[in-house]
Structure 1
Amino acid sequence: MPWWFFRRRSRNTVRTAPSAQPSSGWLPGEVALPRLQGSRRYLQEQPYLLPKDLGEVNRLDFQHYVLRAILRGNYLAPIQQPRRILDIGCGTGQWAFELAQQFPQAEVIGLDLEQVKPSVSPPPNYRFVQGDILQGLPFDDNSFDFVHQRLLVLAIPQAAWPAAVQELARVTAPGGWLELVEVSIHISDLISPAGPANEQFVSLLGQLSALRGIDSEGTVMRSLDQYLAQAGLINIQRHPIQVPIGDWAGRIGALSALDIHEAWKAISAPLAARFHLPEQEILQLIDRARQEWNELHSYGTFTVAYGQKP
Structure 2
Amino acid sequence: MPWWFFRRRSRGSLSAAHAADPVQPSSGWHLGEVALPRLQGSRRYLQEQPYLLPKDLGEVNRLDFQHYVLRAALHSNYLAPIGQPRRILDVGCGTGQWAFELAQQFPQAEVIGLDLELVKASASPPPNYRFVQGDILHGLPFDDNSFDFVHQRLLVLAIPQAAWPAAVQELARVTAPGGWIELLEVGTALQDYLPSGPATQEFYQLGSQLAALRGIDTDGTVMRSLARYLEEAGLVNIHYQALDVPLGEWGGRIGSLMALDLREVWKAISAPIAARFGRSEQEVLALIEQAHREWNSFHTSCHFAVAYGQKPI
Q: Distance in 2 between matches of 1:11 and 1:31?
A: 35
Counterpart-to-counterpart distance in 2, 1:6 and 1:182: 24
Q: State the partner residue of 2:245.
A: 243
Count residues in correspondence: 299
User: What SS does the corresponding residue of 1:206 show, helix, strand or coil?
Assistant: helix
TM-score scaled by length of structure 1: 0.92
The amino acid across from 1:10 in the alignment is R
Identity of aligned residues (%): 71
From the two aligned structures, give the one with the greater strand fraction: 1
Counterpart of 2:37 in structure 1 is 31
SS state at 1:41 partner? coil
Q: Offset of 1:17 from its aligned partner?
A: 10
Pairing of 1:4-19 with structure 2 (within 5 A): 4-11=5-12
Residue 82 of structure 2 corresponds to 79
**Could you tell me whether the CA contact under 8 Å between 2:36 and 2:48 is conserved in 1?**
no
Do the aligned partners of 1:3 and 1:135 also contact (CA within 8 Å) in 2?
no
Report the TM-score when normalising by structure 2. 0.91
CA distance in structure 1 between the partners assigned to 2:145 and 2:103 by the alignment: 20
8 Å contact from structure 2 (residues 247, 301) kept in 1: yes
Query: Contact (CA 8 Å) 1:246, 1:297: kept in 2 or not?
Result: yes
Q: Would the alpha carbon gap of residues 28 and 93 (structure 1) be closer, same or farther in structure 2, given more than 3 Å must change? A: farther
Cα distance in 2 between the residues matched to 1:17 and 1:215:
24
Q: CA RMSD in A?
A: 2.1
Partner of 1:22: none
Whether 2:273 is the aligned partner of 1:271: answer: yes
Q: Do the aligned partners of residues 286 and 157 (structure 1) sit closer, same or farther apart at CA in structure 2, a change above 3 Å counting?
A: same
Gaps of 5+ in 1: 20-25
Amino acid at match of 1:275: F
Structure 1 SS opposite 2:179: strand
Secondary structure in 1 matching 2:104: helix
Q: How far apart in 1 are the matches of 2:101 and 2:184?
A: 17
1:233 is the counterpart of 2:239: no
Q: Which amino acid aligns with 1:70?
A: A
Name 2:93's counterpart in structure 1. 90
Distance apart, 1:120 and its partner CA: 3.7
Gapped regions of structure 2 (runs ≥ 5): 14-25
Q: Give 1:151-166 correspondences, 5 Å limit.
A: 151-166=154-169
Structure 2 counterpart of 1:253: 255
1:253-293 CA distances to partner (integer Å, 9 max, x unpaired)?
10111110111111111111211211111100000001111
8 Å CA contact retained: 1:81, 1:103: yes
Indicate conservation of the 8 Å contact 2:188/2:218, yes or no. yes
SS of match in other structure, 2:78? coil
